[in-house]
Chain A
Amino acid sequence: MRVGILVNPLAGLGGRVGLKGTDTAEIAARSLALGAIPMAGARMALALRALPREVTVLAPAGAMGEAAARAAGFSPRVVGEPAGVTTADDTVRLARAMVRQGIDLLLFAGGDGTARDVLVAIEREVPVLGVPAGVKMHSAVFGATPRAAGDLAGRFLHGRAATVAVEVMDIDEAAYRVGSVSARLYGYLLAPYAEDVVQGVKIGGGRSDCLALASIAEAIAQAVEPDRLLLLGPGTTVRAVAERLGVVKTLLGVDLVRHGAMVAADANEQAILRALSDGASATVVVSPIGGQGFILGRGNQQMSPDVIRRVGLGNIVVTATEAKLAALHNQTLRVDTGEADLDHALAGYRRVITGVGIVAVCRVA
């Protein structure tokens, strides 16, 4: 059992001093000047204390992992070291180095920014679990607490937790500081999954999630007429639908499909509008972002207000597993198309396909 650990020593600094995040070196310096205390290493050590003793820990030198491992009583195998003040480049480079040396799991302490760096570095090569230590943690890769993350890591290493693809989200910090939230879907990491342990995705997963996705795919395949142009939104739920239709879907893109064949993969707004220009009837298939509930305007901005109006508000099929709906606050769906009038028209109540013969009715706000 080999675990690579990675601490972003600057993670979370901006939080307590009210700077919203720590994405740039300048913010980190300002935070430290304002009296912020680095906590990520201590939180990683908390998580590591929950790991079985026989685990081999790989870690970058010093504050990026080694110190936390030693604090938790491990003698880590040191893999590289940061170049001076730690940066995103260090995260990427050292994560890759540990994967090359062979690890079963990468445990990182940080926030959404660190999760994005990890995504860039290793995508879904090895499972990844986040120890919550950042200011923003919209991504579904984090354990609810450091202890819970360590527990889950232990379960996974003992072969007692499955893995699922989870969203890596982040918000634009500059915009956030001036009060506007605009979250983006950056991609998917592979994370260990066990009930009650991963933040934001409280139930489902594993075997039952596979069955639920198959049921959703079957229900939508039965419901859509093959001659309609299908606009398939991003994510693993809609990807399962595409697979049932015989199409290999891009995970992050909006793909256009007709008669079970790909018309355009990862289409942008202009390509979608061109495909719609021949007057063909079309259906949008989207699934809410896990934990947040956005069905439009997060990760699928290609489906612009023009696209949505052209397809028609009645031709938007929303689908999600019951587990995904369960994890949404008050089971409420959200839209943020960028046009208030359109958002208003989309608000109300909407049917959500949860499987063959089963539908949920959710509020759209």
Chain B
Amino acid sequence: MTAFHAARWNEPLIQELSEAGARGIIPPATDPAIMQAAGDVLSRLPKALRRAAPPALPEVTQHRVVRHFTRLAQMCMGFDVTTDMMGTCTMKYSPKVHDHVARDHRLADVHPLQDPETIQGVLEILYRFNRMMCAIAGMDEFTFQPGSGAQGIYTNACIIRAYHAARGDQARRNEIITTAFSHPADAATPAVAGFKVITLMPGAMGYADVGALQAALSERTAGMMLTNPEDTGQYNPHIREFVDLVHGAGGLCAYDQANGNPLLGIARAGDAGFDLCQFNLHKTFSAPHGAVGQGCAAVGVREPLRRFLPKPVVTFDGERYGLDVDRPDAIDKIRAFLGNVQTVLKAYAWVMSLGADGLRAVAETAVLNNNYMLNRIRAIPGVAIPWPANTYPKLEQVRYSWEPLFQETGVASAEIEDRLVDFGVQHYMTSHVPMLVPQPFTLEPGESLTIAEMDAMVAALRAIAEEARTTPERVRSAPHNASIGRIDGEIPHDPATWAFTYRAYLRKRSAWSGPRSPRATRKHGGY
């Protein structure tokens, strides 16, 4: 393990750098010819919309602005700086060339209200990628409108609702079935869409069994929404029977494929009988993921549900691409316009660069990497692999447990996670809540990492477990080599300590000066 130390800048807020009169850029004066042609544009602004005083923007020179954000970037533990194998998130390398292509002015300068005739190239990419996704998933039509994974899952819930409403059956069919280790959005978004939610608890194998599903099915069943493999990396081999049972009860089946990485080119949602599915282009399809920015969920449906997809749908008549907005049965728009088209372009570029064989190689490599890590981590004293009865290989991730180490030393998984930072690993996923596995940690190496990176991760975990026995305070007071020390875990749960704007910061900062223990109490497992 090479020694790691993060950059540590004592960098003020940009507002605190403000100096009266400093300028980053002085825009050129308006061309006299333009001025003459346009007239006094500002005076035509309604009075109510005009500011009485200019906004209190910071006045900072250009090089100081660049330095400011470069320093902040250096203090971020992104994939370009450190290893990341945060489970349930399919972190992987995002090729730089795709970013470069997506920044091209022919896409960046497009206005969402432009006439379709003038954006034929953009529509062609959306249309072609739609057909690729249909081939990958065994579906008949996709939409790329949702701006996040959870929005994609919500789209599934809305389509299920629209399907039953169209049959006059919405009032009766008000229950959605999911499983405990599916992504929490498979329970949360149907609840938002007005459904009751039934969660099947896992049995001794770590996944729900057929008996549990049968106990949940009734004439009130609207559908089933789940992930498979679940967050545990375990594949439910009864999935075909699940689908048939739900269909037999009159419900629809939605496959949350945010954990789709291990199945590319191996298994298709449509072939397993699912009616609709969803992928996160910002996970499995390599578009950058993190900072909660510019996600894109691809939601696919089989033919009978096509009419419910939100408008517009990109069409092709053999010559020209168009937008179908005449869709009377469509659910409401999930997001404005066509969605995050740049993200679609990056995913399109990724699929084109790999081809069908390459996609399958991604899945196989991710699964092999994961099982390599599993077999090395299994040998670390203090780690348990939950559900010992389940001896199937795991797929793309594993939910491990530090419970034996915790019983022995009292050092918790969240504390080990903080210590990992000192080894140049930004984060691991503990678990979604509720935490059914005690002292959980979830790793997903994906296909991007080298064996050396995976070995370094295993060595770090082993070293920290040893520290928990010999020098537990070293673990409990971590991180030591990060940009900042441990953050008080109460802060995100106390509105008095939040500030999303500088104005709020000025108002609330007096509340931050009181004595606060540096010890953190984790309240959730991340996202």
Contact = CB atoms under 8 A, between A and B. Distances in A.
A binds B: yes
A323 B438 CA distance: 12
B32 interface: no
A326 B436 contact: yes
Interface in B336-383: none
Interface string B471-493: 01000000000000000001000
A143 B414 CA distance: 17
B438 A202 contact: yes
Contact of A326 (B198, B435, B490, B519): B435
B215 A349 contact: yes
B257 interface: no
A135 to B, nearest CB: 16
A144 B216 contact: no
A195 B520 CA distance: 11
Interface in A308-365: 322-323, 325-326, 330-332, 348-351, 354, 357-363
Given A195-B522, A325-B201, A151 B410 contact: yes
B408 interface: yes
Interface string B107-131: 0000000000000000000000000
A145 interface: yes
B28 interface: no
Interface in B194-220: 195-204, 208, 211-212, 214-216
A272 interface: no
B264 interface: no
Interface in B1-23: none
Contacts of B408: 145
A358 B187 contact: yes
Interface residues of A, number: 34
A303 to B, nearest CB: 22
Contact of B180 (A147, A197, A360): A360
B197 A145 contact: no
A349 B180 contact: no
B215 A351 contact: yes
B505 interface: no
A204 B434 contact: yes
A350 B200 CA distance: 10
B450 interface: no
A196 interface: yes
B215 A358 contact: no
A351 B216 contact: yes
B200 A361 contact: yes
B434 A203 contact: yes
B410 A358 contact: no
Nearest to B199: A360
A148 B410 contact: yes
A195 B521 contact: yes
A148 B517 CA distance: 18
Contact of B410 (A145, A322, A325): A145
Interface string B165-203: 000000000000000100000010001000111111111
A349 B434 contact: no
B23 to A, nearest CB: 47
A194 interface: yes
Nearest to A148: B410
Contacts of A160: 490, 517, 519, 521
A203 B202 contact: no
B439 interface: yes
A350 B523 CA distance: 29
Nearest to B488: A160
B407 interface: yes
Contacts of B197: 357-359
A331 B180 CA distance: 10
Contacts of A144: 406-407, 410
Interface in B489-527: 490, 517, 519, 521-523
Contacts of A359: 196-199, 216
B249 interface: no
A363 B199 CA distance: 12
B517 A158 contact: yes
B412 interface: yes
A330 B202 CA distance: 7
Nearest to A143: B410
A312 to B, nearest CB: 17
A344 B246 CA distance: 27
Contact of B412 (A196, A323, A332): A196
A151 B476 CA distance: 11
Most chain A C-beta atoms within 10 Å of own C-beta, residue among B439, B521, B522: B521
Interface string A167-203: 0000000000000000000000000001111000011
8 contacts: A145-B406, A145-B407, A145-B409, A323-B434, A349-B212, A358-B198, A362-B212, A363-B203
Given A145-B409, A330-B203, 14 more contacts: A144-B410, A145-B406, A196-B438, A196-B522, A204-B434, A331-B202, A349-B212, A357-B191, A357-B195, A357-B196, A358-B198, A360-B201, A363-B203, A363-B212
Interface of B: 180, 187, 191, 195-204, 208, 211-212, 214-216, 406-410, 412-414, 433-436, 438-439, 472, 490, 517, 519, 521-523
